[in-house]
Amino acid sequence: MTDESGEKVVIVGAGPAGIRAAEVLVQAGIRPVVIDEGLKGGGQIYRRSPEGFTRSPKQLYGSEAHKAVALHSLFDRMVAVGAIDYHPQSSVLSTAGNLLQALTPAGRQDFTYSRLILATGAMDRLAPVPGWQSPGVYSLGATQIALKAQGIALGGQTVLAGSGPLLTLIATQLLKAGANIAAVLDTSSSRNQVSGLPGMLARPTLVLRGILMRSKLGRLYHAGVTLERIETDERGPVAMHWRDARGKSRVASCDVVGLGWHLRAETQLAGLAGCSFDYDESWLQWLPRTDRMGRAGERLYLAGDGLRILGADGAEVTGRLAAIACLADMGWPFPDARPDLRRLERLERFARAMARAFPWPRDIVRAVPDETVVCRCEGVTAGQLRESVVYGGAEANRVKSLARVGMGRCQGRFCQLASVELIAEKAGLKVCDAGRLREQAPVRPLPIGDWVREA
C-alpha cells in the first residue's frame, strides 16, 4: 500500500528479521507489504506446525519458546489489525528495477516498491560426502523441520554429521522426542572448538547451554572426525563410514543421515537486486556488502541470516536496524539505533567465534574422491568438475557452464561452496579468487503453467 508520502516498503521474509522490521515500520505509521513463503509467519527457526498440531511452544522451541511466542503473537496481531499487507505461501522469484515478481497461491503477482527490505534467511551449508545423493540423506535442518513441523523422524536410526551449533541441538531434540541416534559426528576438532571459546563467551548462557546439551549426548558425540562415505543400498543409507580423531576407522549403522555445516546465507534476491558481495574469511562464504545498518544499495536493505549468519537473536536486531535505516533515508522520524548497534557488536563477536569453533571442512571437501557427486541435482562428480577446470578455466561460472555444477534445480545453493573449494584446490587459487555464481531469475523453479497463465 502506498501512503501519502508515496513510499511503498516491501519486506521479503517473515522470520525474526522480517517481523521485527515490519514492527518498526508499523510503529512509525507505515503499512509494509510482507511476502513470505511459509504457511504462517515465524521463519525456519520459529517455524510453526500446520493447524491441528498440539505440542506447546515449550516442547517445540525449548529455551527459546518465549522468543518464538513473542514473535508469533506480534506478527499475528499485525496481520489481524491490517497493519501489514501480508502475502503468505508466496515466493518472490525475480526482481528488477522497482518490481518484484512473485508466485502466490492465486498465481503470479507483481509488486512494486520504493524501498525493499530483504530478510531471506539462510539454509544448511552442505559439503559433499560420497553417497550423499542417496534417498534418506537429508540436510541437518531438514531433520529438525521434520521434528518441529511434522512430529516425525525421517528414519528409524539416525546419524547426524557435520559441524556447528545445530548439530548438538538437533541431536538433543531428536533424542528427547524418542528418536534413535546412532552417532553424532562433528568434523570440528576439540582444539578448534576450544579456540572459539573466548569469543563465544560474549554470550555465556548459550555456551553453558551448549555444553550441557553436549554432555547429554555422552558417548554418541565424537569431535574431530573425518567422514569417509555413506554406504547405501537401493533404499538408502545403511551405514556411515568415518574415522575418529585418532584416525581409527569406524562404522555406524543407520537408515537416515542428516548432514550440515552451520548455515549459508540465502542471497539470490540480494544479488539480483544489485548487491555487491565479499568473500568473508570468518564464515567462509560470500556475503553481501552493506553498512552497519544493513544498507546494501539505493533503497535496498538487508537483514537477518541473509546478511550475516548471526542466528535468530541477531536477526531480530538486524531486522530492526534495516527498518530504522529505511525510515531515516525516507526522512521520517526514527527510533534510536544505538542499543541495537551495541547488541549487534556482541552478537557478531560471538558468531565469528562460533564460525571459528565449527569451521567449514575445507580439507575434507578438497580431498573428496573423483567419483563423489558434488552436484546432487544433476549428479556431476568431483572428477568431472576438476577436469572442467583443466580445459575450461578456474572460475565458478565457467565450471557451471561447462560441467553444469550450479546449473541444476537448486541453482547452486548446495554445491556452490564445495565447487569453489575444488576449483581453488585444482588451480592453486585462493577461494575468493575462484569466483561467485551469478544468480539467475527465477530464483526457484516454478511450474511454467502457473507463470504464463497469469501473464
Partner 1 sequence: MTSGLQSARPAGRIRRLAEKGRPQVRFRLDGVDCKALSGDTVLTAVLVSAPAVRQSEFGPEKRAGFCLMGACQDCWLWQEDGRRLRACSTLIAEGMQLRTAPPEIWP
Q: Which residues bind partner 1 (CB under 8 A)?
A: 37, 39, 44, 49-55, 59, 89, 91, 123-124, 133-139, 141-142, 145-147, 149-156, 177-179, 232, 234-236, 255-256, 266, 373, 376-379, 409-410, 413-414, 444-445, 447, 449
Closest contact distance (angstroms) between CB of 375 and partner 1 is 9
Q: Report which of 116, 423, 147, 449 is spatially closest to residue 412, judged by C-alpha positions.
A: 423
Closest contact distance (angstroms) between CB of 157 and partner 1 is 10
Neighbours of 231 (CB within 10 A): 16
Closest contact distance (angstroms) between CB of 418 and partner 1 is 14
Q: Of the two residues 160 and 293, which places its CB atom closer to partner 1 in the complex? A: 160
Neighbours of 384 (CB within 10 A): 19
Q: In sequence order, what DSSP letters do the residues of 313-366 get, joined into one string? A: HHHHHHHHHHHHHHHHHHT------HHHHHHHHHHHHHHHHHHHHS---HHHHH
Packing angle between helix 204-217 and helix 165-177, nearest 10 degrees? Answer: 50
Angle subtended at Cα 163 by Cα 283 and Cα 233, rounded to the nearest 5 degrees: 125
SS3 per residue for 177-201: HCCCEEEEEECCCHHHHHHHHHHHC
Q: Of the two residues 102 and 223, which places its CB atom closer to partner 1 in the complex? A: 102
Closest contact distance (angstroms) between CB of 181 and partner 1 is 12
Q: In sequence order, what DSSP letters do the residues of 266-315 get, joined into one string? A: --HHHHHTT--EEEETTTTEEEE---TT-EEETTEEE-GGGTS--HHHHH
Q: Report which of 369, 354, 367, 365 is spatially closest to residue 415, judged by C-alpha positions.
A: 365
Q: Of the two residues 135 and 339, which places its CB atom closer to partner 1 in the complex? A: 135
Q: Of the two residues 48 and 203, which places its CB atom closer to partner 1 in the complex? A: 48
Q: Count Cβ neighbours within 10 Å for each residue of 48-65 and write b for 16 or more, e otherwise.
A: beeeeeeeebeebbeeee
The sign of the torsion formed by the CA atoms of 26, 74, 16, 316 equals: positive
Closest contact distance (angstroms) between CB of 108 and partner 1 is 16
Closest contact distance (angstroms) between CB of 39 and partner 1 is 8
Q: Of the two residues 141 and 162, which places its CB atom closer to partner 1 in the complex? A: 141
Q: Is 50 left (phi over 0), alpha (psi -120 to 50) or beta?
A: beta
Q: Of the two residues 136 and 383, which places its CB atom closer to partner 1 in the complex? A: 136
Closest contact distance (angstroms) between CB of 161 and partner 1 is 15
Contacts of 362 (CB under 8 A, 6+ apart): 284, 421
Contacts of 89 (CB under 8 A, 6+ apart): 36, 37, 38, 39, 104, 105
Q: Report which of 357, 378, 356, 374 is spatially closest to residue 425, judged by C-alpha positions.
A: 374
Q: Of the two residues 398 and 404, which places its CB atom closer to partner 1 in the complex? A: 404
Closest contact distance (angstroms) between CB of 356 and partner 1 is 26
Task: Tell me the pairing of strands 221-222 and 181-186.
Answer: parallel
Q: Of the two residues 88 and 335, which places its CB atom closer to partner 1 in the complex? A: 88
With contact defined as beta carbons under 8 Å apart, do 404 and 375 qualify? yes
Closest contact distance (angstroms) between CB of 409 and partner 1 is 4
With contact defined as beta carbons under 8 Å apart, do 208 and 169 qualify? no
Q: Of the two residues 177 and 206, which places its CB atom closer to partner 1 in the complex? A: 177
Q: Of the two residues 289 and 404, which places its CB atom closer to partner 1 in the complex? A: 404
Closest contact distance (angstroms) between CB of 453 and partner 1 is 12
Angle subtended at Cα 62 by Cα 61 and Cα 64, rounded to the nearest 5 degrees: 70
Closest contact distance (angstroms) between CB of 411 and partner 1 is 8
Closest contact distance (angstroms) between CB of 389 and partner 1 is 21
Cα distances (angstroms) measured from residue 134 to each of 123, 168, 182: 20, 24, 18
Q: Of the two residues 144 and 163, which places its CB atom closer to partner 1 in the complex? A: 144
Q: Of the two residues 278 and 371, which places its CB atom closer to partner 1 in the complex? A: 371
